[in-house]
Amino acid sequence: MKVEISKTYNPQEVEGRWYAWWESNGYFRADAHSNRPSFVIMIPPPNVTGSLHIGHMVNDTIQDVLVRRKRMQGYNTLWLPGMDHAGIATQNVVERQLAAEGLTRHDLGREKFVERVWEWKKQSGGTILRQIRRIGASCDWSRERFTLDEGLSRAVREVFVSLYDDGLIYRGNRLINWCPRCMTALSDLETKYLPVDAKLYHLRYPVKGRPGEFVEVATTRPETMLGDSAVAVHPADERYNGLRGGTLVLPLMNRDIPVISDDAVDPKFGTGAVKVTPAHDPVDFEMGQRHSLQRISVIGEDAKMTAEAGAYSGLDRVEARKRVIADLEAQGLVSRIEPFQHNVGHCDRCGTIVEPLLSTQWFVKIQPLADPAIRAVEDGRVRFVPGNWAKTYFEWMYNIRDWCISRQLWWGHRIPAWYCGDCSEITVSRTDVTACSKCGSGNIRQDSDVLDTWFSSGLWPFSTLGWPEKTEDLKAFYPGSVLVTAYDIIFFWVARMIMFSLKFMKDAPFPDVYIHGLVRDADKQKMSKSKGNVIDPLGICDQYGTDAVRFALARMAAPGTDITVSEDHLESYRAFATKIWNAGRFILRYVDESDRLPSLAELKQSDLSLVDRWILSRLNRTIQEANASLDQYQLHEAARTIYRFFWHEFCDWYLEMIKLHPEQSKPTLLYVFESALRLLHPFMPFITEELWQSIPHKGETIVLAEYPEFGPELLDTRIEKHIEIVQELITKVRNIRSEMNVESKKEVAIRVATTDAEIVDLLEEARAYIFRLGRVSKIDVISALSADKLAAQAVVAGFALEVPLADLIDADAERARLTKEAEKIRREIDGLDRTLSNTRFIERAPKEVVEENRRRLADYREQAAKLTAAIERLN
């Protein structure tokens, strides 16, 4: 009985069915007790607020290709999925919902608000995980994690308390970036610096005791002058020799401030004198520390002026700026105001301009954690792919500053520190405490802040496996095998995972970090909502089929470059899926339910035709190349290799050639098609399973079938060369036929001019294929080209070909055709000439490449000579 599949491939019907079946059969589940080698990837946990965007789909496709292949290669694979609670982002979402109801989080109170966030998480938090399933990601859902899970929260506490005990977490009053809208501290990484058109105000501060003398300073934030505690000049700046150590009178506040010397001042900028506001500028903060200057906070957390701002107290910072300038102008203390473009920090979440403020926060002392993390990359325990990302990593790590980890939010891991109301002791504890650790007083309160969301995601490689418990999973699956991520979170996340893992697991979290590009549109523009060029991945999966989208993304994911997605790509990979489907339908025409998949041994004993031996050799070369590419994370190369084989060799040639002897070729046909499906499976999981289940196969699912391995015994370089010649010959005959408008039903006789016995034998052996595919009725071997003026001529790999067209062509058309071909070859020769006379190329290119170019040039010269002769003959 024949197996039937539908006439056209219907992804919608196929995809959901197989995914549910795979999942319910537990094919994606890792086994902590397996003795097979493990292959582990932790998914970069998407934000719980998120829904799948095209960047996730690239990231997940790459991971899935790697994981599916390793699973097929027999590894005990774990791809662990999960989500990040995404502190500030999630809190903002729920706050916006409340705002729509006319409420703030303070109306609800902390407990009710957090309940509400959990409620929201329950409803919509799983969206992205369902979407990840939808695109075929073979995650082990039995091990799904959430950064606010009980287990992961325990890990967070353990890390916090150990770091505190080691003196690596401290509480301090330091300058931090503050978002007055979100009302929370931000790390340097959560602050985005954007160019802003601002003004530079030049202010004059009177010199005390010398009426009419002033020092001029410049600032973009004149309202901060109310908190100035000095003016600084460079020690070597002679202009200020008489003023150094002197005193100025701070206008508006009438406060005496010193003139100090500091190397940090750039004498070439402006007047060489700068105002120093330690409470509102990071450079000034450090200068203040060096000179023991007062820190006067004049702007509060709400971006309003504080009581320290005197008459300006209570004003918004924007209003205060206007009033300060107006008052200074009234006193003649503004010398000029000029336009000025500079970078200003904005809150990464809400876009509000951040205010550098003095604030008491929790910090991680980072240097002792950063040093081992730098060494781990230096000595190759962690490798970036492509390698140039290591440079970016080092640059950041060498300049790393203490990490402010407390956030004035309610959604997140609450800081496990309790303050005593009686003796002011701070108790930091792994478990909740009810009494002060020093005086035993019950008058204590827990710190109301939560931790930066990246604190918990930094523990992801091991907290997900049950750490700090010594679990079976931790033993089996730590460290992981590779981290796959886009380059925009190297610092936020990758660096922190490396630091925390080295500290707490004494081992790097993964040997490889594969960094892929961001997705851009067909015009290479970054996708953004405001540009309106965002591609919805699920929309295109519906439209083109998930396999086609996955293949397109993998095909474009060359390491080190951004990924462009256009409709043309998607269109052409949908066509590829159709091609695969049609190949399956063709094969099923010859297959009965009684047919079995031949083993390699059985195959070798069967009656292999010339083209069978050829396709087996090509298949093996493809397997070899694809595996080599995948081992190097060159997914785009592997995809290209497999595509080329499947479409241009298997479908275009092999399937056509064996129409002459389908029964004889059936074992090879089944063997090659089944292998090709397995080769393709990591890229196109759905269509490959659907077809694999329809043809003879061994095993339960292609998910667990063996990934094709290179078998050198099937390679046959000589046959590959021969079929290449046959293909070229047929192509040339077809070209001549179409250019000369030979009716398709008419057969042509051809003449081949050669004295090469190997070619003569080949023409004999391949005669039937040439006849069928070239619509040829006769092949004559001649020793030299004839003088037949009405024969179209072409050059094929070292010999010449004639197609007598006496009844069909006029000499003019033929002359034009040959001239055109001669010009084309002339251009090739010119190009190669240029390349080969470029000394830089000769010196730098690999030897084989130079040799290959020389060989091609010689070939072209020979062809040009033959064409010239042919054209002359027509004249």
Residues near Zn ion (CB under 5 A): 179, 181-182, 347, 349-350, 352, 420, 422-423, 425, 436, 438-439, 441
**Shortest distance (Å) from residue 45 CB to Zn ion:** 22
**Shortest distance (Å) from residue 401 CB to Zn ion:** 21
- Closest to Zn ion by CB, 10 vs 443, is 443
**Shortest distance (Å) from residue 355 CB to Zn ion:** 11
DSSP 702-737: GGGSPPP---GGG--HHHHHHHHHHHHHHHHHHHHH
- Closest to Zn ion by CB, 408 vs 566, is 408
**Shortest distance (Å) from residue 352 CB to Zn ion:** 5
> How many other C-beta atoms are found inside a 10 Å radius of the C-beta of residue 249?
14
- Closest to Zn ion by CB, 351 vs 387, is 351
- Closest to Zn ion by CB, 92 vs 138, is 92
**Shortest distance (Å) from residue 436 CB to Zn ion:** 3
- Closest to Zn ion by CB, 196 vs 790, is 196
Residue 636, both tokens: 């785009």
Non-local (6+) Cβ contacts of 203 within 8 A are 216, 217, 218, 219, 222, 225, 251, 275, 328, 333, 334, 335
- Closest to Zn ion by CB, 439 vs 704, is 439
Residue 160, both tokens: 């916090």
**Shortest distance (Å) from residue 95 CB to Zn ion:** 11
Q: In this structure, what is the dihedral angle of CA atoms 758, 763, 765, 769, given to the nearest 10 degrees?
A: 150
**Shortest distance (Å) from residue 190 CB to Zn ion:** 9
- Closest to Zn ion by CB, 93 vs 808, is 93
Pick from 456, 412, 347, 408: which is nearest to 121 by CA? 412
CB-side exposure of 665: number of CA atoms within 13 Å? 22
Helix (H) or strand (E) holding 407, with range, is strand 406-407
CA distance 354 to 666: 70
Q: How far is CA 384 from the centre of its chain?
A: 13
CA distance 420 to 425: 5
- Closest to Zn ion by CB, 423 vs 781, is 423
Confirm if 709 and 631 have CB atoms less than 8 A apart: no
Residue position matching structure tokens 């292998």: 675
**Shortest distance (Å) from residue 439 CB to Zn ion:** 3
Range list of β-strands (E), 55-126: 76-80, 82-83
Residue position matching structure tokens 């009438």: 254
Non-local (6+) Cβ contacts of 690 within 8 A are 5, 14, 18
- Closest to Zn ion by CB, 278 vs 356, is 356
- Closest to Zn ion by CB, 432 vs 607, is 432
**Shortest distance (Å) from residue 438 CB to Zn ion:** 5
> How many other C-beta atoms are found inside a 10 Å radius of the C-beta of residue 114?
19
**Shortest distance (Å) from residue 85 CB to Zn ion:** 18
CA diameter of the chain: 114
Non-local (6+) Cβ contacts of 850 within 8 A are 836, 841, 842
**Shortest distance (Å) from residue 430 CB to Zn ion:** 19
Backbone angles phi and psi of 508, in degrees to 5: -65, 150
- Closest to Zn ion by CB, 324 vs 436, is 436
